[in-house]
Structure 1
Amino acid sequence: MGNYLGTNKQGTGINRNNNSDIRISAGEQHYIGALTDGISIHGNLLAGSDNTSISVSATNIFIYGNTIGTDLSNNINLGPNAGNGIGITSASNVTIGDSAPNQANVIANFIQGIDMVVITPNPQELRDNNFRSNQVRGNSIFNVDQMINIRDIRNPFIDTENLNSNDPDDADMGMNKLMNYPRILGISYDQQNAPDAVNVDFMIDATANHADYPLTIDVYFTDLDENLQGRYHLGAFSYTTPQAIQTIQLQLPKGIEGGKLALTTTDADSSTSELSPAATFGNLDIIFADGFDLDTE
């Protein structure tokens, strides 16, 4: 069983603390939450923080299976919480979540879900930070429309508050290689043959010279009335041909009346991009081959 930090003993209310719930600033091979060595350990329940809940400035850190900012049922808002759900400062080889059972983190009710900031003169050395399969929602105190924010506070060309722009061929360098996120080209719906699914066309502008293939694409879904962050992880897909247009079919949560889809890129060395702009669609009954809206890139 994991720890309850910043909550009452039932895990249903907060006991506010004035700093981070967990802070790691040195050492290697720390595990926070569920381990991967065959030992079944539930993750931690963290809330009530007046700062970033999990703060990391060390190397080779594994953050699995934690519930941050909400109760274990995901029904009680244990916020608002100041800062970020998880903050990474000038660190490499940090793994946040995984597709294996019980290893995704839930991050809710903070200013921002995951924040990665550079304060070192060599940001290109800070890489292989992997964020996959997590459920990120309700982190909207400042109306931030992002799940992951990668920012270099010393570089005016890196957007410190909004989504960084893709660049041609993914040739730029920086923290997590400034991986290009996928570009969603279209959504189509086949009511007769696949009434609970949508087809998504996308491509990634990254050559083999600038990205370590194969790439992994993670797909996230958010309800229409929420900021885009990634309430549901819908699956992962391999992307093997540089700059090719690829189509994937997604099973959507039951009972939805539209929503927002967005994607991330993770390369073979485990560097993950920011979340792409969303493709927003309405009720599935009115989606046609070109029936979608794409947020501004």
Structure 2
Amino acid sequence: MANIAKRDDGHWRARYRDARGKEHARHFARKVDAQAWLNSVTVSIQSGAYVDPKMGRETVAEYIRTWLERQVQLKPSTKARYTGIVRVHIIPRFGAVPLAKIERSHLSSWVAELSASGLASATVRHIHKIMHSVLQSATMDGRIARNPASGVKLPRERGRDKRFLSHEQVAALADAADEDRLIILVLAYCGLRFGELAALRVRNVDPLRRRLSIEESATEVDGVMIFGTPKSHQQRRVPIPRSLVENLARACEGKQSDDLVFTAPRGGVIFLRNWRRRVFDPAVGAAELGALSPHELRHTAASLAVAAGANVKAVQRMLGH
């Protein structure tokens, strides 16, 4: 039911009842404006796009807390990154803003400011992706009629050239790593992610079949190491080069089945940031390899495997893609 009535003060009162029987009303100086508003509401109700105006009064900060709690599909490390992005980039700008008040122009300006601040294009795109997910959820929950983050122009991704080491460079880096020589070789020839290497247990090493079973990954979350499934939640088996079989078998000697193959100097799981500062970065410097990250050893593993004759599908299986 909807109607328009003239008030004693000369203004026009347009009102309607939603599907739940709740009355909504607005006042206009001109009858034509009241009718236009009522027509737009009627169309949205008939098309199924109607949203109760009061639903959009919830602020972004209030809604986003609930949204984060519902992301049960995320691994702890991913959820921690999302939480950090929300805290640093989204809440300061939009936390106090009601969901219904956010417009595409606001988000476009925000994205432009993020880009101008010096953040990488990929980072800006990732921050926008999270905001888009939040607002898409609000749309599906009936808080807002549409997602204002859709259609926002994003900075182009600038592809970064991947770095691949040669056999000679891998050998130089491994020699410079001293006691952690085997870690470098496993990363460079087996293509493991560092978290997968840190979580590798004795039972995962099969010297006879020359296979590693990648079942877990260790990730640091707020200073605590969390063990979970590998990225994409897929377990896989990775071939061990013949040159590493004996060394890996020796690394497992005297250990129980559930013991970690590689540990920190004082025992326990290896934290990437500590290992990089203590071992990797000094070794890179000693081998005169320039700027290099541990993840580029994974790129190296793929490159060396292809150069040795492995087909693309086999390399993808090795990497867990």
Q: TM-score, normalised by structure 2?
A: 0.20
- Higher Rg: 2
